[in-house]
Amino acid sequence: MESITLAASWHPRGELSRFYTLLPRLEPAYSGIVISLPPDVDPSVVAELDAIRQVRVVRTENWSWGRFSAVEEALGFEAGHIQYADLDRLLRWVETRPGEWRATLDRAGRSDCLIIGRTPRAYATHPRALVQTEAISNLVVSHLLGMKMDVSAGAKLFSRAAAEYIIRDCRPIGVDGHALGTDAEWPIALQLAGFRLDYVEVDGLDWESADQYLERAAGPEDQRKAAERYDADPRNWERRVAVALEIVETGLITVGKQVAEAAHR
Protein backbone atom coordinates (compact mmCIF):
# COMPACT_ATOMS: atom_id res chain seq x y z
CA MET A 1 0.00 0.00 0.00
CA GLU A 2 1.21 3.50 -0.86
CA SER A 3 2.13 5.83 2.01
CA ILE A 4 -0.71 8.26 2.75
CA THR A 5 -1.09 11.19 5.13
CA LEU A 6 -4.59 12.08 6.28
CA ALA A 7 -5.46 15.79 6.10
CA ALA A 8 -8.77 16.43 7.85
CA SER A 9 -10.71 19.45 8.99
CA TRP A 10 -12.97 19.01 11.98
CA HIS A 11 -15.48 21.04 13.93
CA PRO A 12 -15.97 18.60 16.83
CA ARG A 13 -19.57 17.90 17.79
CA GLY A 14 -19.26 15.11 20.30
CA GLU A 15 -17.20 12.74 18.12
CA LEU A 16 -14.01 12.68 20.21
CA SER A 17 -14.80 9.37 21.94
CA ARG A 18 -15.50 7.75 18.56
CA PHE A 19 -12.22 9.11 17.24
CA TYR A 20 -10.36 7.40 20.09
CA THR A 21 -12.25 4.16 19.44
CA LEU A 22 -11.33 4.23 15.75
CA LEU A 23 -7.72 5.37 16.21
CA PRO A 24 -6.37 1.77 16.17
CA ARG A 25 -7.79 1.48 12.64
CA LEU A 26 -6.60 4.90 11.51
CA GLU A 27 -3.01 4.77 12.73
CA PRO A 28 -1.86 1.77 10.63
CA ALA A 29 -3.47 3.22 7.50
CA TYR A 30 -1.77 6.63 7.58
CA SER A 31 1.82 7.77 7.95
CA GLY A 32 0.49 10.80 9.81
CA ILE A 33 -2.82 12.46 10.70
CA VAL A 34 -3.29 16.23 10.44
CA ILE A 35 -6.44 17.75 11.91
CA SER A 36 -7.30 21.42 11.42
CA LEU A 37 -9.65 22.86 14.03
CA PRO A 38 -11.66 26.10 14.23
CA PRO A 39 -10.31 28.93 16.39
CA ASP A 40 -13.09 28.60 18.98
CA VAL A 41 -12.65 24.87 19.63
CA ASP A 42 -12.56 23.74 23.26
CA PRO A 43 -8.89 23.91 24.44
CA SER A 44 -9.29 20.51 26.12
CA VAL A 45 -9.95 18.93 22.72
CA VAL A 46 -6.79 20.51 21.34
CA ALA A 47 -4.76 19.25 24.30
CA GLU A 48 -6.09 15.70 23.98
CA LEU A 49 -5.37 15.51 20.27
CA ASP A 50 -1.91 17.06 20.70
CA ALA A 51 -1.04 14.25 23.10
CA ILE A 52 -1.49 11.58 20.39
CA ARG A 53 1.88 10.80 18.84
CA GLN A 54 0.73 10.38 15.23
CA VAL A 55 -1.62 13.39 15.23
CA ARG A 56 -0.59 16.92 14.32
CA VAL A 57 -3.10 19.66 15.18
CA VAL A 58 -3.56 22.92 13.29
CA ARG A 59 -5.70 25.46 15.13
CA THR A 60 -6.77 27.88 12.42
CA GLU A 61 -7.20 31.60 12.95
CA ASN A 62 -9.63 31.66 10.03
CA TRP A 63 -11.89 28.59 9.82
CA SER A 64 -12.62 29.18 6.14
CA TRP A 65 -8.99 28.17 5.56
CA GLY A 66 -9.43 24.88 7.43
CA ARG A 67 -9.24 22.52 4.45
CA PHE A 68 -6.30 24.34 2.90
CA SER A 69 -4.42 24.45 6.21
CA ALA A 70 -4.86 20.71 6.73
CA VAL A 71 -3.42 19.84 3.31
CA GLU A 72 -0.60 22.35 3.72
CA GLU A 73 0.42 20.86 7.07
CA ALA A 74 0.12 17.32 5.73
CA LEU A 75 2.87 18.05 3.23
CA GLY A 76 5.21 18.17 6.23
CA PHE A 77 5.06 14.38 6.31
CA GLU A 78 7.06 12.31 3.82
CA ALA A 79 4.13 10.32 2.40
CA GLY A 80 3.63 10.18 -1.36
CA HIS A 81 -0.11 10.78 -1.13
CA ILE A 82 -2.53 12.89 0.88
CA GLN A 83 -6.15 12.07 1.56
CA TYR A 84 -8.38 15.01 2.40
CA ALA A 85 -11.64 14.37 4.29
CA ASP A 86 -14.00 16.12 6.67
CA LEU A 87 -13.21 14.12 9.81
CA ASP A 88 -16.78 13.56 11.01
CA ARG A 89 -17.64 12.04 7.63
CA LEU A 90 -14.48 9.93 7.59
CA LEU A 91 -15.15 8.56 11.08
CA ARG A 92 -18.54 7.28 9.98
CA TRP A 93 -17.00 5.67 6.89
CA VAL A 94 -14.26 3.92 8.88
CA GLU A 95 -16.74 2.76 11.52
CA THR A 96 -19.48 1.46 9.24
CA ARG A 97 -17.62 0.25 6.13
CA PRO A 98 -13.94 -0.28 6.97
CA GLY A 99 -13.34 -2.65 4.06
CA GLU A 100 -14.61 -0.13 1.52
CA TRP A 101 -12.50 2.61 3.12
CA ARG A 102 -9.31 0.53 2.93
CA ALA A 103 -10.07 -0.53 -0.64
CA THR A 104 -10.38 3.13 -1.60
CA LEU A 105 -7.00 3.93 -0.02
CA ASP A 106 -5.52 1.10 -2.08
CA ARG A 107 -6.30 3.14 -5.20
CA ALA A 108 -3.54 5.63 -4.28
CA GLY A 109 -1.07 5.95 -7.13
CA ARG A 110 -3.54 5.36 -9.95
CA SER A 111 -4.28 9.05 -10.50
CA ASP A 112 -3.24 12.48 -9.26
CA CYS A 113 -6.65 13.27 -7.79
CA LEU A 114 -9.20 10.63 -6.90
CA ILE A 115 -12.54 12.32 -6.20
CA ILE A 116 -14.60 10.19 -3.81
CA GLY A 117 -18.34 10.61 -4.27
CA ARG A 118 -21.50 9.01 -2.94
CA THR A 119 -23.50 6.16 -4.39
CA PRO A 120 -27.26 6.66 -4.83
CA ARG A 121 -27.69 4.53 -1.70
CA ALA A 122 -25.45 6.87 0.31
CA TYR A 123 -27.09 9.99 -1.09
CA ALA A 124 -30.55 8.70 -0.15
CA THR A 125 -29.69 9.06 3.56
CA HIS A 126 -29.20 12.84 3.24
CA PRO A 127 -31.79 15.56 3.82
CA ARG A 128 -33.61 16.78 0.73
CA ALA A 129 -32.08 20.21 1.32
CA LEU A 130 -28.65 18.74 0.52
CA VAL A 131 -29.71 16.40 -2.26
CA GLN A 132 -31.62 19.01 -4.25
CA THR A 133 -29.08 21.82 -3.94
CA GLU A 134 -26.02 19.63 -4.48
CA ALA A 135 -27.63 18.29 -7.65
CA ILE A 136 -27.13 21.77 -9.11
CA SER A 137 -23.53 22.27 -8.00
CA ASN A 138 -22.57 18.73 -9.02
CA LEU A 139 -24.14 19.23 -12.45
CA VAL A 140 -22.24 22.47 -13.08
CA VAL A 141 -18.88 21.18 -11.86
CA SER A 142 -19.31 17.92 -13.78
CA HIS A 143 -19.89 19.99 -16.93
CA LEU A 144 -16.76 22.05 -16.27
CA LEU A 145 -14.71 18.89 -15.71
CA GLY A 146 -16.26 16.94 -18.59
CA MET A 147 -16.89 14.07 -16.15
CA LYS A 148 -20.13 13.22 -14.38
CA MET A 149 -19.45 13.03 -10.64
CA ASP A 150 -20.46 13.96 -7.12
CA VAL A 151 -17.85 16.48 -5.99
CA SER A 152 -19.72 17.67 -2.90
CA ALA A 153 -18.73 14.98 -0.39
CA GLY A 154 -15.41 16.74 0.16
CA ALA A 155 -13.31 13.55 0.08
CA LYS A 156 -10.30 13.36 -2.22
CA LEU A 157 -7.04 11.43 -2.53
CA PHE A 158 -4.13 13.40 -3.99
CA SER A 159 -0.69 12.57 -5.24
CA ARG A 160 1.97 14.59 -3.48
CA ALA A 161 2.59 16.60 -6.64
CA ALA A 162 -1.11 17.47 -6.92
CA ALA A 163 -1.27 18.54 -3.27
CA GLU A 164 1.81 20.73 -3.71
CA TYR A 165 0.19 22.37 -6.74
CA ILE A 166 -2.96 23.13 -4.72
CA ILE A 167 -0.96 24.78 -1.94
CA ARG A 168 1.07 26.79 -4.42
CA ASP A 169 -1.68 27.88 -6.81
CA CYS A 170 -5.01 27.65 -4.95
CA ARG A 171 -4.28 29.72 -1.87
CA PRO A 172 -7.41 31.23 -0.25
CA ILE A 173 -7.76 34.99 -0.45
CA GLY A 174 -9.15 37.27 2.25
CA VAL A 175 -11.32 36.54 5.24
CA ASP A 176 -13.76 34.37 3.30
CA GLY A 177 -11.58 31.53 2.04
CA HIS A 178 -14.48 29.79 0.23
CA ALA A 179 -13.78 26.54 2.08
CA LEU A 180 -16.58 24.54 0.46
CA GLY A 181 -15.76 26.03 -2.91
CA THR A 182 -12.63 23.86 -2.88
CA ASP A 183 -14.91 20.99 -3.94
CA ALA A 184 -14.91 22.68 -7.34
CA GLU A 185 -11.68 24.68 -7.28
CA TRP A 186 -9.19 21.92 -6.53
CA PRO A 187 -10.21 19.34 -9.15
CA ILE A 188 -10.79 21.98 -11.85
CA ALA A 189 -7.42 23.63 -11.21
CA LEU A 190 -5.66 20.27 -11.24
CA GLN A 191 -7.31 19.14 -14.46
CA LEU A 192 -6.50 22.41 -16.24
CA ALA A 193 -2.88 22.06 -15.06
CA GLY A 194 -2.63 18.62 -16.68
CA PHE A 195 -3.07 16.37 -13.65
CA ARG A 196 -5.02 13.14 -14.07
CA LEU A 197 -8.40 12.91 -12.31
CA ASP A 198 -10.33 9.78 -11.43
CA TYR A 199 -13.62 9.12 -9.67
CA VAL A 200 -15.13 6.49 -7.40
CA GLU A 201 -18.44 6.26 -5.54
CA VAL A 202 -18.76 4.68 -2.09
CA ASP A 203 -21.58 3.75 0.28
CA GLY A 204 -19.57 4.86 3.32
CA LEU A 205 -20.05 8.58 2.71
CA ASP A 206 -23.68 8.45 3.78
CA TRP A 207 -25.01 11.30 5.93
CA GLU A 208 -22.81 11.82 8.97
CA SER A 209 -24.49 14.70 10.80
CA ALA A 210 -26.96 12.35 12.47
CA ASP A 211 -23.98 10.90 14.40
CA GLN A 212 -23.33 14.04 16.42
CA TYR A 213 -22.99 13.48 20.21
CA LEU A 214 -23.57 9.73 19.83
CA GLU A 215 -21.24 6.97 21.02
CA ARG A 216 -21.56 5.15 17.68
CA ALA A 217 -22.69 5.87 14.14
CA ALA A 218 -26.42 6.47 13.79
CA GLY A 219 -28.57 3.75 12.25
CA PRO A 220 -30.85 4.25 9.21
CA GLU A 221 -33.92 5.17 11.26
CA ASP A 222 -32.03 7.78 13.27
CA GLN A 223 -30.59 9.18 10.04
CA ARG A 224 -34.09 9.43 8.55
CA LYS A 225 -35.53 11.25 11.57
CA ALA A 226 -32.57 13.64 11.75
CA ALA A 227 -32.91 14.38 8.02
CA GLU A 228 -36.60 15.19 8.47
CA ARG A 229 -35.78 17.61 11.29
CA TYR A 230 -33.10 19.22 9.15
CA ASP A 231 -35.47 19.73 6.24
CA ALA A 232 -38.14 21.20 8.51
CA ASP A 233 -35.96 24.24 9.25
CA PRO A 234 -36.03 26.80 6.38
CA ARG A 235 -32.67 28.17 7.52
CA ASN A 236 -31.02 24.92 6.50
CA TRP A 237 -32.43 25.23 2.98
CA GLU A 238 -31.13 28.78 2.79
CA ARG A 239 -27.69 27.67 3.94
CA ARG A 240 -27.51 24.80 1.45
CA VAL A 241 -28.49 27.11 -1.41
CA ALA A 242 -25.62 29.40 -0.37
CA VAL A 243 -23.21 26.43 -0.29
CA ALA A 244 -24.23 25.30 -3.78
CA LEU A 245 -23.80 28.85 -5.05
CA GLU A 246 -20.35 29.07 -3.47
CA ILE A 247 -19.26 25.85 -5.18
CA VAL A 248 -20.60 26.95 -8.58
CA GLU A 249 -19.13 30.45 -8.37
CA THR A 250 -15.74 29.13 -7.24
CA GLY A 251 -15.70 26.65 -10.12
CA LEU A 252 -16.44 29.38 -12.66
CA ILE A 253 -13.85 31.71 -11.12
CA THR A 254 -11.24 28.94 -11.25
CA VAL A 255 -11.86 28.28 -14.94
CA GLY A 256 -11.67 32.00 -15.70
CA LYS A 257 -8.44 32.39 -13.73
CA GLN A 258 -6.76 29.48 -15.46
CA VAL A 259 -7.85 30.67 -18.91
CA ALA A 260 -6.56 34.19 -18.20
CA GLU A 261 -3.22 32.87 -16.97
CA ALA A 262 -2.87 30.64 -20.04
CA ALA A 263 -3.62 33.57 -22.32
CA HIS A 264 -1.04 35.70 -20.52
CA ARG A 265 1.60 32.99 -20.94
Identify the pLDDT of residue 135.
Answer: 97
What is the DSSP secondary-structure string of the chain? ---EEEEEE---SS-HHHHHHHHHHHHHH-SEEEEEE-TTS-HHHHHHHHTSTTEEEEE-SSGGGHHHHHHHHHTTS--SEEEEEEHHHHHHHHHH-HHHHHHHHTTTTS-SEEEEEE-HHHHTTS-HHHHHHHHHHHHHHHHHHTS----TT-EEEEEHHHHHHHHHH----SS---TTTHHHHHHHHHHHTT--EEEEEESTTS--GGGTT-SSPPPHHHHHHHHHHHHT-HHHHHHHHHHHHHHHHHHHHHHHHHHHHHHH-
- Kindly indicate the confidence band of residue 130, based on its pLDDT and cuts at 50, 70 and 90: very high
> What residues make up the domain containing 76?
4-264
pLDDT digits (tens, 9 = 90+) for 211-236: 999 999 999 999 999 999 999 999 99
Identify the pLDDT of residue 172.
Answer: 82
More confident residue, 28 or 61: 28
Identify the pLDDT of residue 61.
Answer: 87
CATH number of the domain encompassing residue 185: 3.90.550.10
How many domains does one find in the chain?
1
- Kindly indicate the confidence band of residue 171, based on its pLDDT and cuts at 50, 70 and 90: confident
Predicted confidence (pLDDT) at residue 174 exceeds the cutoff of 60 = no
Percent of the chain predicted with pLDDT > 70: 95
Identify the pLDDT of residue 2.
Answer: 81
pTM, two decimals, is 0.93
